[in-house]
Amino acid sequence: MCLMHASQWVDAKVLLLDAVAQGYQEASIELATLYRTLGEVGLAQATIGALPLEALRKRDQALAYRELGLQAYQQGDLGQAATRLQQAWAAAAASRLGTPLITPIAHALGIVCAERGLDDQADSYFDYAQLHAHPTRQVFVQASRAISAAYLGQLDRAVECLAQAPACPADAASPADLQVLYARGITARAARAYAEAAEHLQLLSGRATAAGDIELACYAELWLASVALAQGQFGAAQRHVARAEQLSAAPKTEAMVLLRRGLLAARRGQDGTAALETAARLFSGPGRRREEGWCWLCLCEAHLALGDDVRAEAALAQALQIRYAVNTSSLAIELDSLPLVRQHLERRGADDARCLLQDERRFSRGGQTQIRLQTMGAARILVNGQTLGLNMARTPELLTYFLTHRKFTLPQLQVALFADHPHKRSKSYIHQVRAELQRLVPGLTIPFDPATRTYTLHLEEHLSLTWDVDVLLGALKTEDPAVILEHIALYEGPFLAEATAEWAEFTRTELQQLVLSRCRAQLDRWKAAGQWVPVLSLCEALQRVEFDEVLCADLVTALEHVHGPEMASARLSALAKRWTAEFGEPSPVLTALMAELAPA
């Protein structure tokens, strides 16, 4: 076993065969593992199949059932794999070793559940394995977590898992090192970091081949083909597919080779449908819904390339059915290799098709999409710092209402924002805004619940929405001058200045008074402490909130303390003139202050 972990396969094989010949049945289990790792599927199955499972000790039963589960997983039969692994767990629990035996079984069950789309169960198994595993096994578990997260588009989580794994040495070839390299390659591929992905996967292919791990080398080549297809490098893709085909020794990898070969043909304008249909059947049998979904998306691409829109739509319908069944974003991981499908989805515009485009948004470097709703001053919506071009002028206003009310009915929205508009016209406008938001911000939806007849604002987990009002009011709860002065600049003007609805006008007045109240309380604390520099800065900023004579007086007093009476008098004179011009009469407060500052 030590020789196997050191990838010294020949020496390990000699010793294990000798042990089997001497009657040590448990050695047959390790020998089957060796054959499976080397891609000798038939020998692995025959070796484990010769064992009288029920006659074995519970410890050896657990190891044998685990090996059978891993063989089923390698063959692509996830249901059989889960069954065998659960049998292994039961046998391990009945043995005297218990937890040390259960830990690798839990890890394997986590991998199987992740591929079946049972993410909560997968996390539970990974948690158990991580808690009880020895350091080498913990590296495997972190790599498995990263791969699972990458498939789901949870790139930040994948990167976090890999950050906890040790860096691979330059000549790393242990099974743990190779698995980490594999996870790094898939994570980079999912993030569309093609050069980084190719670097990791090329290293993996060479090192796995040298270490005798033929299956892992095959997967490295299959993913290298995926990277090449995403970049339109068809010659490179063909070389990697040919290499993967040479290495393939299991039904699962054979189906993946057909998938890659069929898509390559489609991208070249050739007919790849036969290969893709065969791959879909091979994946469908053992219930590998994710891979089957990939096949249907690739079939959609192939039919579109051949100009057969009817069959393309049928293939897309199959893919969408699987998308909703697995309920994850994993089908979209390679949507960047399907340009015709993406164009078709964008033209189609239906809600069911849009979900795939929303899923694809997860597969971007950084993972999160930042949405900023600006309502003080010029109202606008920004996505990752870019202002959205809106066709509907009141979209920011309605998004603000959606955000602040969470659940609402159509009549409530019409009364609050469109009281003076005809019912049919306002209903049409609201639905146009809803459609515009969902189109411009994939992952943002406003679903309707027919049971309660209410709408709610829903954001996918890759979206992060900040509202300038929330940010400002949160900052004003602190007493840190730097934080307050930085965030008061968010008040660039009245709340939704162009909005005339009663709800907006009420909120505008309420917000202004709340900002002034909190700022005045802060000014009083600073004045009592003699902190005149922040008083001056805050009073200057509050001129945008309200032209108030008391704030003007505080500004002049702070100016006198910071810069002297001459500058204070000059500013006071300007403020007094402005007050008279705006209100038609002098300010009593400012007039009294002018008398105080006048030279004796």
Q: What is the per-residue pLDDT for 245?
A: 96
Q: Give the pair of three-digit tokens for residue 553.
A: 């007086």
321, amino acid identity: Q
The mean pLDDT value for 360-369 works out to 67
Q: What is the per-residue pLDDT for 167?
A: 61
Q: What is the per-residue pLDDT for 537?
A: 92
Domain span holding position 266? 250-366
276, amino acid identity: L
More confident residue, 313 or 52: 313
Which residues partner with 246 through β-bridges? none
Q: Of 25-39, 54-68, 160-174, which gets the smallest average pLDDT?
A: 160-174
Q: Which residue, among 322, 297, 330, 326, has the nearest Cα to 116 in the 3D structure?
A: 326
Looking at the structure, tell me whether residues 384 and 286 fall in a common domain: no
pLDDT grade for 53, boundaries at 50, 70 and 90: confident
Q: Is the Cβ–Cβ distance between 85 and 108 less than 8 Å?
A: yes
Q: What is the per-residue pLDDT for 33?
A: 77
Within a domain: residue 397?
yes
Which residues partner with 408 through β-bridges? 455
- CA distance linking residue 204 with residue 216, whole number of Å: 8
Looking at the structure, tell me whether residues 351 and 378 fall in a common domain: no
Phi, psi of 352 (to 5 degrees): -65, -30
Q: Read out DSSP for 91-140?
A: HHHHSSS-HHHHHHHHHHHHHHHHHTT-HHHHHHHHHHHHHH--HHHHHH
Within a domain: residue 25?
no
Percent of the chain with pLDDT over 70: 94
Distance of CA 140 to the CA centre of its chain: 22
Kindly provide the b/e burial profile for residues 352-386, where b requires at least 16 CB atoms within 10 angstroms of the residue's own CB: ebbbbbbbbbbbbeebebebbbbbbbebebebeee
DSSP state of 364: S
- CA distance linking residue 18 with residue 174, whole number of Å: 24
- For residue 518, is pLDDT > 70? yes
Segment (H or E) for 467: strand 463-467
Looking at the structure, tell me whether residues 386 and 318 fall in a common domain: no
Looking at the structure, tell me whether residues 573 and 508 fall in a common domain: yes
Looking at the structure, tell me whether residues 333 and 387 fall in a common domain: no
- CA distance linking residue 39 with residue 23, whole number of Å: 25
55, amino acid identity: A
Percent of the chain with pLDDT over 90: 48
Q: Is the Cβ–Cβ distance between 436 and 395 less than 8 Å?
A: yes
Based on C-alpha coordinates, what's the Rg of the chain?
33
Q: Which residue, among 261, 339, 259, has the nearest Cα to 293 in the 3D structure?
A: 259
Looking at the structure, tell me whether residues 375 and 335 fall in a common domain: no
- CA distance linking residue 413 with residue 427, whole number of Å: 9
The mean pLDDT value for 45-56 works out to 83
Q: What is the pLDDT of residues 557-598, one digit of tens each?
A: 999 999 999 999 999 999 999 999 999 998 999 999 988 887
Looking at the structure, tell me whether residues 514 and 582 fall in a common domain: yes
Within a domain: residue 341?
yes
Q: Based on the structure, what is the number of domains in the chain?
A: 3
Among 320, 335, 366, the domain boundary falls at 366
Looking at the structure, tell me whether residues 449 and 519 fall in a common domain: no
Looking at the structure, tell me whether residues 289 and 348 fall in a common domain: yes
pLDDT grade for 303, boundaries at 50, 70 and 90: very high
What is the maximum alpha-carbon separation in the chain? 115
| Helix, strand or coil, per DSSP, at residue 415 | helix
Within a domain: residue 398?
yes
pLDDT grade for 24, boundaries at 50, 70 and 90: confident
Bridge-based pairing state of the strands 463-467 and 369-374 = parallel
Q: Which CATH number covers residue 434?
A: 1.10.10.10
Among 343, 366, 389, the domain boundary falls at 366
- For residue 483, is pLDDT > 70? yes
Q: Is the Cβ–Cβ distance between 562 and 588 less than 8 Å?
A: no
Looking at the structure, tell me whether residues 586 and 510 fall in a common domain: yes
Among 306, 334, 366, the domain boundary falls at 366
Q: Is the Cβ–Cβ distance between 560 and 597 less than 8 Å?
A: yes
Within a domain: residue 522?
yes
The mean pLDDT value for 26-55 works out to 80
pLDDT grade for 7, boundaries at 50, 70 and 90: low
Instruction: Find tokens 């991208």 and name the residue.
Output: 267
Q: What is the pLDDT of residues 237-266, one digit of tens each?
A: 999 999 999 999 888 899 999 999 999 999
Q: Read out DSSP for 413-476?
A: HHHHH-TTS-HHHHHHHHHHHHHHHHHHSTTEE--EETTTTEEE-EE-TTEEEEEHHHHHHHHT
Q: What is the pTM of this model?
A: 0.59
Q: What is the per-residue pLDDT for 118?
A: 75
pLDDT grade for 351, boundaries at 50, 70 and 90: low
Within a domain: residue 77?
no
Looking at the structure, tell me whether residues 344 and 384 fall in a common domain: no
Q: Of 9-23, 75-89, 325-339, which gets the smallest average pLDDT?
A: 9-23
Looking at the structure, tell me whether residues 361 and 398 fall in a common domain: no
Within a domain: residue 192?
no
Within a domain: residue 501?
yes
- CA distance linking residue 553 with residue 568, whole number of Å: 10
The mean pLDDT value for 317-325 works out to 91
Kindly provide the b/e burial profile for residues 131-143, where b requires at least 16 CB atoms within 10 angstroms of the residue's own CB: ebbeeebbbbbbb
- CA distance linking residue 256 with residue 334, whole number of Å: 13
DSSP state of 376: B
pLDDT grade for 364, boundaries at 50, 70 and 90: low
- CA distance linking residue 10 with residue 478, whole number of Å: 68
- For residue 419, is pLDDT > 80? yes
- CA distance linking residue 242 with residue 233, whole number of Å: 15
Q: Read out DSSP for 534-596?
A: HHHHHHHHHTTT---HHHHHHHHHHHHHHH-HHHHHHHHHHHHHHHHHHHSS--HHHHHHHHH
- CA distance linking residue 262 with residue 239, whole number of Å: 14
Q: Which CATH number covers residue 570?
A: 1.25.40.10
Work out the angle at residue 231's Cα, subtended by the Cα atoms of residues 244 and 350, and round it to the nearest 5 degrees.
105
The mean pLDDT value for 392-403 works out to 94
- CA distance linking residue 506 with residue 563, whole number of Å: 39
Which residues partner with 495 through β-bridges? 376
- CA distance linking residue 382 with residue 389, whole number of Å: 9
| Helix, strand or coil, per DSSP, at residue 257 | helix
Mean pLDDT of the chain: 87
